[in-house]
Amino acid sequence: MIKAVIFDLDGIIIESEPLWEEIEKKVFAGIGLNLTTNMCRRTVGLDTYDTIRFWYAEKPWEGKNFSQLYHEIIENMRIAIQDKAELKEGFLNVLQLFKNMSLPVAVATSSPQVLINTALNKFGIAGEFNVLNSSEKEEYGKPHPGVYLTTSQKLGTDPQYCLAFEDSFNGAIAAKAARMKVVTVPDPTEINDRRFDFSDLKLSSLLEFTNEKFKQLNV
C-alpha cells in the first residue's frame, strides 16, 4: 500500500530541463566545451557536481575548477528559474489528488536546496510538502538511491510503501533501487525509450495520472 509520494523537482514539478540545457551550454562554452542537445541529455538527472565530473572525464579542461563551474551554473539556474520556469502541466492536479488522500508528499531532487526553495517559493507551494530533500546532502547523487532512502526516512515511511515520480532515467533508477514504485514521465523525445520499461507506470504527461491509475498502483 502506498503511504507517501515523492516528486523529483526538475521535469516533474517545474519545466526546467530546457533551462538546465541552456545554462550548461553557456557555462561550459566558457571553458571551450561546446555541448550539443544530445550531449546534455546524457547527464539529465545527475547532480551538478556529477555532471561537471562527467564532462571533465570525457574532455578535460584547464582554467576554472569544479567549484567555480558549480557556483556559476547554480547561480545562473537560480536566476533562470525565477525568471522563466513554469509549473509542469498537470502537476497541481496530481498534488491535489494526493493532498485529498491525506498522503504525505516530498521532494527528492538532484538540484541543490537553493533551487528547490527558489522554485517552490516562486509558485507559492513550498508549504504543501512534508519534506524537501536534495542529493547535495548525500555522499552520492542519483542514480544512487541515497536521496530517496533519506527522504523516505524523513517521511517515516518504508521505501517500499513510497511512490516516486521521475522524468529522467537516472532518477527513475535511483527510486527503483530504493525499492519504490515509480511513475516516469519522460521527455517527449524519450517516451518510446525502452530503458523506461521497468517503470510501474509510464506517462506522456502528468495530465494522464488519475485516481484510477493510482488505484492500479496501490496494490
Give the whole-angstrom CA distance, residue 62 versus residue 160: 45
Domain containing residue 66: CATH number: 1.10.150.240
Residues 54 and 95 occupy one common structural domain: no
Residues 148 and 69 occupy one common structural domain: no
Residues 42 and 126 occupy one common structural domain: no
Catalytic residue among 8, 47, 50, 167: 8
pLDDT above 70 as % of the chain: 100
DSSP H or E segment with residue 122: helix 113-122
Residue 33: predicted pLDDT: 95
- The residue-averaged pLDDT of 65-85 equals 96
Residue 137: predicted pLDDT: 87
Residues 144 and 40 occupy one common structural domain: no
Residue 125: predicted pLDDT: 98
Residues 122 and 186 occupy one common structural domain: yes
**Residues belonging to the chain:** 219
Catalytic residue among 10, 47, 50, 167: 10
Active site residue 8: yes
Residue 189: predicted pLDDT: 87
Residues 72 and 128 occupy one common structural domain: no
- The residue-averaged pLDDT of 178-197 equals 94
Cell of 208: 494522464
Residues 165 and 210 occupy one common structural domain: yes
Q: How does pLDDT run across 140-173, given as a tens digit for each residue?
A: 999 999 999 999 999 999 999 999 999 999 999 9
- Structural domain that includes position 24: 17-84
